[in-house]
Structure 1
Amino acid sequence: MNVPHSGKRLLSPIQMAILALVAGTNVAYATEAADAQAGAAEQAQAQAQAPAADSGKMTEVYVTATKRSTSLQKTPVAVTALNSAALDDNHVQTLQDVVNLVPGFAATSQGDHGVTTLTLRGIGNDSAKTEYADPEVASFVDGIYSPRPEGATALLFDLEAIEVLRGPQGTLWGRNSSVGAVNMQTVKPEIGSNAGNFELGYGNYNRLGARGAFNIPINDTMAMRVSVVHEQHDGYVDYQAAPNVSLAAQHAAADPEIAKWNAAHPGNPIAFQPINTNLFVRNGAKYNAQDQSAARVSFLWQPSTQLKWNVSFEHYIDRGTPNMNLLQVARPGEDFWSTLADTAPYIHRDANSFRSRLDYQINNDVALAYIAGYSHFTGSSTFDQDGGTVVPTSFLTGGSHQEDNTVWSKYKNYSHELEIQSTGKRDVDWLLGLYYANEDNGIRFDIPIMNGTQQGTVGWQGSFVQPKETVDSSAVFGQATWNVSESLHLTGGLRYTSDKRSNIGGTNNQYTNPDLPQLPISPSIDPLNPASGFVTYQRNDGEFKDHKLTGLVRVNYDIDKNNMVYASVSTGYKSGGLQDGGQPYGSETLTNYEVGSKSTFLGGALRMNNAAYFEKFKDFQFSAPVTYPDGSRGLATSNAEGANIWGIETEIAAKLTKVDRVQLTAAYTHATLKHLIGGSNDYQLPACPVPGISTCLDVTGNTMPHSPKFSAQLMYQHTFHLADGTLIPRISTHYETASWLSVFNLGDQDRQKAYNRTDLGLRYDANSKWYFDAFVRNVEDGKVKTSAMNSFNGVWQAQYLPPRTFGINVGRSF
């Protein structure tokens, strides 16, 4: 049995805080009103205009896509807004839960680093999981860019709303939003309020959940809010029995290989060993488990109507496990949700985030905002990369043991943004801003690969040590809208960005001494020590600089008070950087041509928003682990010629009656690559004719991964009014056509076939402010792949969305 990193499991400070909250406090529901950034006046206006929940009209939604609080139906941007009620109804806990609610949105789970990468309108980067690569879809919390998934971006809690902006958002939103942006708005403190709520949940796989928050009025100018969350469930993946191979069969397989080794290495002979079955994991934490907690303390100081300061501190911990690569076709006699594991799963992550926004109304015409953020992250993890694809025939033959070990990972990032903008109704609305951000990253990542089992000889092993990788990004931006008339509006915007990236002291190290003991690398081994058997084959020191001017031109026209059309041309930019060996790769750019409409019909009962776009994507950054001709390995990034992408999106929400509501989102996407010859160690590829990489494939003209031709989400709910409350059954179903899982388009195993996935919910809200919510997710118990690979003996593996889950939540508000 192999269960490293064991230890006592004590209640964390966050879990104790949750218990304290559940004992006597809770959090008020967040309303669908205006974003807190826009100011108290606009928030009051939004609340006043929102119709009653049981009226025949759809609730008015306000968004901050243009960095002003505006009605969704008056905002000329392709944006999906999910308020707190929608997040609760759909049991949204992570960004993976959001994607089905947004047209053209997809998420990919990553096992070895335990993160989720995002794709929007057919464009994403599956390698955007460490400091090596940045995402095309940027994540923001309270308007502050989050370069790595942690805290509120990993475990969504106490949120007022999530806005997903589709298309380049660089002019106003900045870094790495070349394809889109996800902006999460936390619930802010409220002066004079004692409201709160709490919730407890239970489900299959021993799911336990608790969350709560409460608002504390301090005085007539200050308030505080405390919110906590804890979510855990057992892993979905069971462990298979260790190999049962007779000693005679083991000798027959191992003895010829032992003879070859001893003849080639007479100074370091090896002897036969029986397979040590204790090296295979049989108990302890399972793969695909959740154990995450977070707490946030927020303060509001508003000494006058002109000055307001929101500040928060958030702590996040993750003690779950990575998602396992499963065999796409289970071995005879084994369950699909099981694995032959010889590496125990482990995740240990901690993150602290500080966020601040200061708003000052200089006069009736001009407002100033200063937004600042700071995050600090540390983490480590272990992952069974081989996934038990082949059962070993002896200690030395048949199988392959590969671990992916993040020995340590750390980063610090901070940002400052200063904005000044016009307020009130004007002929020209304008906004000017300055931005600066800095990242300081570091990681040690080890890959031991052993022949047969951990007892065998070294197949290959390396240690990648990047002690310091920095990013400096600064920008100046501005946007103005000329309100030509009450109906016609012309908008222009520009952003100048300057980026600098540095790798200081980074090395790639490979084990090359067969005369030393054949043991997997461990954290106690220093790969930079010559006595360790490792040699440094690449030094990654280098510096990359680039700058870019991006912009936006848009016209929107209000046909009448219920119908608006718009057309825009916008450009996006993502900085290049440094790959292994200190070699640079270029920046990528995107030009988006878009037309759209936003309409309200039937006196507010029906809302329909549409967008059609064409995107010219240039110098797409393709990153993948590769093997070089000399046998060494690294992460290589190359710039594809680009891609051509076009599509149509629609969102329809309607109240069929005062008690019946239906919602539909749909997207058609066509995304094809231009010229690219790509390599990847995750796939068995032919020998590469291009110098520098051992294996590769010409993928020119292939379909971009995670971009189904058609996808749709349909939701229906009905409200029963009872004497003491309301009962709301709900059904939501998602359908999408087949989609590829990599740029290589390698056949049925490398794609997810067309599927339908249905969720059910039943919520009872009592007039006494307590509620009961039951749910079933993935009713069909479908096996939906999010990524695939066949690097181990051609056997296909995949990552999957969770199997069928169900549970209940009980809560109370006051």
Structure 2
Amino acid sequence: MTSPALPARKFLGTPVQLAVISLIAGASCSSWAQTAEPAAKTEPDKLPIVTITATKKLTSLQQTPVAVTAVTATALEDTRANTLLDVFNLVPSLQGTGQGDHGIVSITLRGIGNDSAKTEYADPEVALFVDGVFSPRPEGASTLMFDLDGLEVLRGPQGTLWGRNSTVGTINLKTAKPVLRDQSGYVEGGIGSFSRLGTRGALNVPVSDTLAMRFAFVHEQHDGYVDYQRAPHPSLASQQAAYAAANNGSLTGFQALNPNLFVQGGPKYNAQNQTAARVSLLWKPSAQLRWDVSLEKFQDRGTPSMSLMQTPRAGEKFWSALIDTAPSLKRDSTALRSRLEYDLGGMSLAYVAGIGRFSGSGTYDQDLGVQAPTSFSTGASHQEDNTVWSKYNNHSHELTLASNGKQELDWILGLYYAAEDNGIRFDIPIMNGTQQGSVGWQGSFIQPKETVDTQAVFGQATFNVGDKLHLTGGVRYTHDDRKNIGGRGWFWGYDASVPQVPLDPGLDPSKPGSGYNAGNVNDAHYTGSKATYLARASYELSKDMMVYGSVSTGYKSGGSGDGGLHYGPETLTNVEAGLKSTLLDGRATFNLSAYHMNFKDFQFSAPVIVNGNRQFAYSNAEGAKVSGLEAELAARVGAEGKLGLTVSYTKTRLGELVAASNDYQLPPCFDPQLGGNCLKVTGNELPHAPKISVQLQYEYQFHLGGGDSLTPRIGAHYQSSNWLSVFNLGDGDRQKAYTTLDLGLRYAAKKNWYVDAFVRNATDQKVKTSAGSSGSFANPIWTAQYQAPRSYQINAGYSF
């Protein structure tokens, strides 16, 4: 992915050049997110050239007029990034959070995201690809990242080349490929906080002069860090008084509260236990033909992330919860990916295909233990969120024909087809007080078959007007067909002849006498089409400096929600201008982008209560407007130091929207279609969009003699306060400004072995990534998901 750095042209002429040089001289910084592996020809005082595939061709990062951040394998290793949650601080304007009940990662870029994309049928605004193969469901976002060449984050809509769900950006993970005629590999093992154990490795095997294979594996585990609180033990007299007060003074039916209903041991929430393996094959029978294919398996036996009370219950630790539903998470996925490419001379033909299979289940304590029961049926509620089963099957195919090299007209044409067949059963039992209590509400959402068929045709061309001016135009036409077949919501019927016990996975709620009635009928058929486009001009001010401007659009299809109600597609138009420059004779780079996005028909979705029943509702907001500025600097500090800085500024404003959500306590709603509670949020700021975000990193390599080295690293992340929902409800719904610090130290021996120590969140900051409330609108009890507390790890490895 890298090549020797080209000689940089010295300049000290224009005001723009002088300003950039002055900024770098004052900040002396480099972005690890743009640092490539050492070039084959060592030039220690220069930055190596980074190549990317953002335009679906191999191009230099500094010569590609796109706002893209390339995070290399070295950067991922230096920052100990095992999942996407560890990457967000490396990329301007990128935010994310783990979601509890489905155990997935939700992604926001440039202030645009969709927290509800954790559901089985919601599409994200930031598309995730692995080796160019789209991963459609959000569960793929938390898959372990291992044995990668790096990843690329394309900021702004990528609807022309990358598709309909790239509304605001694309993330493409690039796995390490086999190498012909090379036998090599590495192995690593480590320990750390919370009984962490980790191991990973890879082996490259040359089978013949034209065939090579690569085997890679990873296993990461640590105990959960949310402790179990002691079960409540109210006196019998106080239990009877509380029960009598709720039952007109009667003690009929009274039971003593059973403290054994609260979890006191076993696996804790926020535990990791993930394993993955990949076998890759490269066949290159001639200089013209190359075929890469890989088979990857992933298994997750960890636990979901628990939301915590922002103000802990008196006498309890912050990292603890009163739990009455034991955590579980079982996820298995298989992915087959293939790229076949043939060089036809002046053009290349490529076929990229992928097949994915996912199955999962899990249990989650959705009442979060925010209230302690005063009797077996009063003072609190017991709510479980149970994914009884889920399955997501998909396949995709892309055929492209593209010009080779740089011609007067560079072009690419493509055809795309993808299909999904998904299903889920999701149960929500809610009991008054404890599991012993009466039914508050309960239901089972069974979606046996939800399908997606997407077809697209696209093309893009760049007219090179001389050596300096380049004009690019592109268009993509997409047709979507989505169906929900047989989807039903089954709700508790309050039949006095049926025992009031929590819904269990073995019960079929559709059978007569089960106690459940048919509620939502979700059968629906949605079709829609959309053309997205790109228009861009770039101009090379010199060999080392380029400016560009573009107008591009993104698109996410509409669909249907509970009750079979349709919602419309959302679109985004992005106007952007940028600068890319290589400075100080190749010792530094400075990239800048400014943008304004007009987001129309934003799809807002959330769980609501309508006519006493719970369902997932969608609505299209008028839209939103987002403006921002992003800067990335990279520089060598002497021959052995690297200093890096990324800065982003984001300003957001939501359009016309009245929003409802069960996740928040809201005032009574004036619109019965939105449920019992709602709030007008027009003009509010979007969530997960801090105005200012800064990432600073520094490392210096000390040579110890004999080829050994010692490299300390430090990384600091600052961001201003940001809202956690569209409701903008005050301090409970806001993460205040904060700074986190990561520390690393690596000893590398000449004989190919190393020891690495890393501390994440060294100052042990409590950083909220999402929030919710219970109780009442006037006196809410606030909860939140949090980034992990301070942790350390020590790893040792050997390469051969």
Shorter-normalised TM-score: what interval?
A: over 0.9
Please give the alpha-carbon distance, in whole angstroms, between the structure 2 residues aligned to 1:141 and 1:721.
Answer: 37
Partner of 1:554: 536
Does residue 289 of the first structure (1) align with residue 278 of the second (2)? Answer: no
Does residue 387 of the first structure (1) align with residue 373 of the second (2)? Answer: no
Please give the alpha-carbon distance, in whole angstroms, between the structure 2 residues aligned to 1:682 and 1:519.
Answer: 24
Partner of 2:92: 103
CA contact (8 A) 2:37 2:74 kept: no
Moved more, 696-705 or 167-176: 167-176
The Cα of 1:261 is off from its aligned counterpart by 9.2
Does residue 578 of the first structure (1) align with residue 569 of the second (2)? Answer: no
The Cα of 1:153 is off from its aligned counterpart by 5.3
Equivalent of residue 178 in structure 1, options 147, 160, 167: 167
Distance 1:790 1:151, change over 3 A: closer
The Cα of 1:349 is off from its aligned counterpart by 0.6
Please give the alpha-carbon distance, in whole angstroms, between the structure 1 residues aligned to 2:246 and 2:284.
Answer: 75
Partner of 1:3: none
Matches within 5 A, 1:186-335: 186-258=175-247, 271-335=253-317
The Cα of 1:154 is off from its aligned counterpart by 1.6
CA contact (8 A) 1:240 1:340 kept: yes
Does residue 780 of the first structure (1) align with residue 763 of the second (2)? Answer: yes
The Cα of 1:798 is off from its aligned counterpart by 0.4
The Cα of 1:807 is off from its aligned counterpart by 1.2
Please give the alpha-carbon distance, in whole angstroms, between the structure 1 residues aligned to 2:564 and 2:793.
Answer: 50
Local SS of the residue matching 2:234:
coil
Local SS of the residue matching 1:252:
helix
Does residue 609 of the first structure (1) align with residue 595 of the second (2)? Answer: no
Local SS of the residue matching 2:443:
strand
Aligned-partner residue type, residue 113 of structure 1: H
Deviation per CA, 1:345-395: give whole Å up to 9, x if none: 000110000000000012x20110000000000000000011110110000
Please give the alpha-carbon distance, in whole angstroms, between the structure 2 residues aligned to 1:52 and 1:205.
Answer: 42
Please give the alpha-carbon distance, in whole angstroms, between the structure 1 residues aligned to 2:99 and 2:151.
Answer: 23
The Cα of 1:513 is off from its aligned counterpart by 2.0
Matches within 5 A, 1:537-686: 537-628=519-610, 630-686=611-667
Please give the alpha-carbon distance, in whole angstroms, between the structure 2 residues aligned to 1:485 and 1:50.
Answer: 30
Moved more, 124-133 or 737-746: 124-133
Does residue 803 of the first structure (1) align with residue 789 of the second (2)? Answer: yes
What TM-score do the two structures reach when normalised by structure 2?
0.94
Equivalent of residue 116 in structure 1, options 100, 105, 122: 105
Local SS of the residue matching 1:100:
helix
The Cα of 1:174 is off from its aligned counterpart by 1.0
Please give the alpha-carbon distance, in whole angstroms, between the structure 2 residues aligned to 1:741 and 1:802.
Answer: 17
Please give the alpha-carbon distance, in whole angstroms, between the structure 1 residues aligned to 2:250 and 2:282.
Answer: 69
Local SS of the residue matching 1:796:
strand
CA contact (8 A) 1:572 1:591 kept: yes
CA contact (8 A) 1:151 1:316 kept: no
Deviation per CA, 1:736-780: give whole Å up to 9, x if none: 000000000000000100000010000111110101110111011
Equivalent of residue 343 in structure 1, options 325, 343, 349: 325
RMSD: 1.5
Local SS of the residue matching 2:74:
helix
Please give the alpha-carbon distance, in whole angstroms, between the structure 2 residues aligned to 1:517 and 1:778.
Answer: 49
The percentage of counterpart residues that share the same residue type is 59
Partner of 2:24: none
Local SS of the residue matching 2:161:
helix
The Cα of 1:299 is off from its aligned counterpart by 0.6
Partner of 1:459: 440
Does residue 420 of the first structure (1) align with residue 401 of the second (2)? Answer: yes
What TM-score do the two structures reach when normalised by structure 1?
0.92
Deviation per CA, 1:651-689: give whole Å up to 9, x if none: 011112111111101100001101000000001111111
Distance 1:746 1:705, change over 3 A: same
Deviation per CA, 1:82-140: give whole Å up to 9, x if none: 11000000110111111110000000211010101100000000011122210000000
What is the number of residues matched between the two proteins?
Answer: 764
Distance 1:705 1:151, change over 3 A: closer
Please give the alpha-carbon distance, in whole angstroms, between the structure 1 residues aligned to 2:351 and 2:476.
Answer: 18
Please give the alpha-carbon distance, in whole angstroms, between the structure 1 residues aligned to 2:310 and 2:389.
Answer: 31
Equivalent of residue 375 in structure 1, options 344, 356, 378: 356
Local SS of the residue matching 1:530:
coil
Q: Which runs of 5+ in 2 are unaligned?
A: 5-34
Aligned-partner residue type, residue 357 of structure 2: H
The Cα of 1:65 is off from its aligned counterpart by 0.4
CA contact (8 A) 2:700 2:711 kept: yes
Moved more, 49-58 or 273-282: 49-58
Local SS of the residue matching 2:116:
coil
Q: Which runs of 5+ in 1 are unaligned?
A: 1-30, 35-45, 263-269
Does residue 728 of the first structure (1) align with residue 714 of the second (2)? Answer: no
CA contact (8 A) 2:762 2:790 kept: yes
CA contact (8 A) 2:3 2:48 kept: no
Moved more, 786-795 or 637-646: 786-795
Please give the alpha-carbon distance, in whole angstroms, between the structure 2 residues aligned to 1:179 and 1:461.
Answer: 37
Local SS of the residue matching 1:790:
strand
Partner of 1:719: 701
Local SS of the residue matching 1:173:
coil
Please give the alpha-carbon distance, in whole angstroms, between the structure 1 residues aligned to 2:566 and 2:43.
Answer: 58
The Cα of 1:59 is off from its aligned counterpart by 1.6
The Cα of 1:49 is off from its aligned counterpart by 10
Partner of 2:31: none
Distance 1:219 1:51, change over 3 A: closer
Please give the alpha-carbon distance, in whole angstroms, between the structure 2 residues aligned to 1:479 and 1:354.
Answer: 28
Equivalent of residue 751 in structure 1, options 724, 728, 734: 734
Local SS of the residue matching 2:237:
helix
Partner of 1:12: none
Distance 1:47 1:280, change over 3 A: closer
The Cα of 1:150 is off from its aligned counterpart by 4.8
Moved more, 378-387 or 51-60: 51-60
CA contact (8 A) 1:151 1:315 kept: no
CA contact (8 A) 1:32 1:160 kept: no
Partner of 2:69: 80
Aligned-partner residue type, residue 701 of structure 2: T
Please give the alpha-carbon distance, in whole angstroms, between the structure 1 residues aligned to 2:49 and 2:264.
Answer: 53
Aligned-partner residue type, residue 524 of structure 1: G
Aligned-partner residue type, residue 371 of structure 1: V
Please give the alpha-carbon distance, in whole angstroms, between the structure 2 residues aligned to 1:600 and 1:503.
Answer: 52
Local SS of the residue matching 1:610:
strand
Local SS of the residue matching 1:433:
strand
CA contact (8 A) 2:104 2:139 kept: no
Deviation per CA, 1:25-67: give whole Å up to 9, x if none: xxxxxx6469xxxxxxxxxxx9999365661111210000001
Deviation per CA, 1:563-594: give whole Å up to 9, x if none: 01000000000001011000100000000000
The Cα of 1:212 is off from its aligned counterpart by 0.4
Aligned-partner residue type, residue 428 of structure 2: I
CA contact (8 A) 1:51 1:60 kept: no
